[in-house]
Structure 1
Amino acid sequence: MEYVALGKTNLLVSRTAFGAESLDCKEIENFGKDADEKACAIVHQAYAGGMNFFDTSHSKPVCEKRLGAALHGIRHNVILATKTSGQDLHEIRRDLDESLMSLESDTLDLFQLENPLIVPKKNGMDGIYNELLSLKEKGIVKHIGIATENYDIAKEAIESGLYEVVQFPFSMISPDSVKALVKLCQEKEVGCIASQPLNGGVVNDIPLAFGFLHQFENVVPVWGTHTQEELQQILFFNDHPPVIDKSFKEEVQKVQNFFN
């Protein structure tokens, strides 16, 4: 497994990260009373494969609880991230307390605002950014970021210099404007997390998707796997990245032309 620095943070994360927001998917829920155990097995498989970065969200409480249970005993060896969609101080504080309880942890390595309506600023009237700084000073969260699907919000967050990490959808069928965000993250030394590397399941060619993203050295994709077999594929291509040659690029172009 390859590990990279996440922007200017001191976090050395696995370049192939685990998206835990899929731990309540239908493939896992189909195991019925054994769903929790199956989710735990997938997390442990990811950890055994070298993944040390696990990303989830308070908007998926079942996933947070399953991830917390699965990381019991190995929490100190992993980098843990979650998000809040709270739009005011009360909601953010409530979400954080509930997330810490679900994840069975006293601290978060990365805490992100999820789909905020605006980019909170230092000394802003809403008090949100100053609260995030206070949480860092208290050691409750180590680093802060923004996760968004809004291009303008992502760009503003990157350029603001206030957020250490920005997470946004990025896959091989993303427009060139998103590639520009990736480059901007690199220039500003902002950690770049790619959500939806398979574009929400629209892309089903894992080798192509993996190889495309692997070209961007500052990008950390979070792979939301539904089965152990799917996770095994991702771990395989992590160890054996596709060769980026003329043929590979032609195949990527075919997919891009089809969707765009």
Structure 2
Amino acid sequence: MKKIRLGRTDLEVSRIGMGGIPLQRPSEENAVKLIKFALDQGINLIDTSRHYGTSEERIGKALKGRRDEVILITRQSLMDGMTAKKNLQQSLATLQTDYIDVWEFHNVGKEKYENLLKPGSAFDVAKQAQKEGKIKHIGITSHCFETMKKAIISENFDVVLFPFNFVNNEAADSLIPLAKKLDIGFTSMKPFAGGRLQNASLVMKYLMQFDDVIPVPGFEKIEEIEEVVKIVEGNYKLSTEEMHQIDLMKKDLGKKFCQWCGYCMPSCPQDIYIPGVINLKVSYNLWPQGDFVANYQKEVNKAKKCIECRICESKCPYSLETVNLLKKGIGFFDSIAQL
């Protein structure tokens, strides 16, 4: 598979990566086979997180004897230095490796970003770990456009991860060119818009138009890898008809769905994890279903105490009817919990 340079890291990475969330869903044996199959197809970038359940553990087992073939990205979400240091040590142990190629700060919003750069924070831990050789490069992920723009401009980070697909395409006009100008690696999360886009050919062909962007789709089956690799290694020029199909799908889906940007938080007086509850159906299709109810029960209980103040709706950049979407999320959860 064709490889490209991941910004100033100078790492040569495959044209697409492999996301770690769906690796929790198959059996461990099948997940390990899936990872090894991806490596055999030339995919050498694997992207995961300390917070993706069994993902790190399964990746670690799959990479035995093949660690030098892989550019490994993992991350953690807590900004205080002590917890971050503990998470890094756990990631190294679970992944069964002496170093991580890119260690990222996960899902950083406005408030978290400010805390991240304070003395003694997780960022200081990352810089020290870099000196010690435990990590090679530092990255950041966010769903918030303004936070990501600020992070890129700061040049504190070697690699960024941001939502990007032909529906969530806000990054195309400014973030991607800015990252390229500053020689910062740009990886794209949610290439299939969190499962809302189903046509792999259109999804991947669109993303391949951006030479410096590395999508990291999640795979659950070998057939999915085969399909995407075939598209990436083929002719991915979009025809007039395909561009028309994309336009129709964009109009049909529109912007009226929660995109996890987090602008609605943390102002909620009930401390509801609003994006998480709204997107419960999406999460159900991505994460292991066995522990789904137990993992989300606490957040749903808080959502049921919503006082409908609608502060969240006033902050939503997509003008969503957040209260109604919360009710739909709760309804979906209750229907699953009863099974």
TM over 0.5: yes
Judge conservation of contact 2:191–2:217 (CA < 8 Å) in 1: yes
Q: Secondary structure at the match of 1:106?
A: coil
Q: Which runs of 5+ in 2 are unaligned?
A: 255-339
Give the C-alpha shift of residue 125 in structure 1.
2.8
- In structure 2, how many angstroms separate the alpha carbons of the residues matched to 1:219 and 1:126? 32
Which region of structure 1 is more displaced relative to structure 2, 178-187 or 147-156? 178-187
Higher Rg: 2
For 1:82, the aligned partner's letter is: T
Aligned residues: 252
Question: Which of residues 214, 218, 230 in structure 2 aligns to 1:236?
Answer: 230
Judge conservation of contact 1:119–1:156 (CA < 8 Å) in 2: no
Deviations 1:52-101 (A, max 9, x none): 11110000130100011011110111111100111201111111111111
Judge conservation of contact 2:20–2:52 (CA < 8 Å) in 1: no
For 2:148, the aligned partner's letter is: A
Change (3 A) 1:147 1:123: closer
Does 2:57 align with 1:97? no
Does 2:156 align with 1:162? yes
In structure 2, the residue matched to 1:57 is: 49
Q: Secondary structure at the match of 2:99?
A: coil
In structure 1, the residue matched to 2:64 is: 72
Deviations 1:8-40 (A, max 9, x none): 112111111111221012xx1xxxxxx111001
Change (3 A) 1:123 1:229: closer
In structure 2, the residue matched to 1:109 is: 101
Question: Which of residues 244, 256, 259 in structure 2 aligns to 1:250?
Answer: 244
Q: Secondary structure at the match of 2:143?
A: coil
Give the C-alpha shift of residue 129 in structure 1.
2.4
In structure 2, the residue matched to 1:2 is: 2
- Percent of residue pairs bearing the same amino acid type: 27
Normalised by the length of structure 1, the TM-score is 0.92
For 2:48, the aligned partner's letter is: T
Question: Which of residues 26, 30, 45 in structure 1 aligns to 2:37?
Answer: 45
Normalised by the length of structure 2, the TM-score is 0.71
In structure 2, the residue matched to 1:87 is: 79
Q: Which runs of 5+ in 1 are unaligned?
A: 29-34
Judge conservation of contact 1:210–1:237 (CA < 8 Å) in 2: yes
Which region of structure 1 is more displaced relative to structure 2, 201-210 or 182-191? 182-191
For 1:75, the aligned partner's letter is: R
Cα RMSD (Å): 1.7
Moved over 4 A (4+): 120-123
Alignment of 1:102-141 (within 5 A): 102-116=94-108, 117-119=111-113, 124-141=118-135
Which has the bigger relative contact order, CA under 8 A and spacing at least 6? Answer: 1
Alignment of 1:179-218 (within 5 A): 179-218=173-212
Deviations 1:121-173 (A, max 9, x none): 99733433232211111111000010111112111111101111110111111
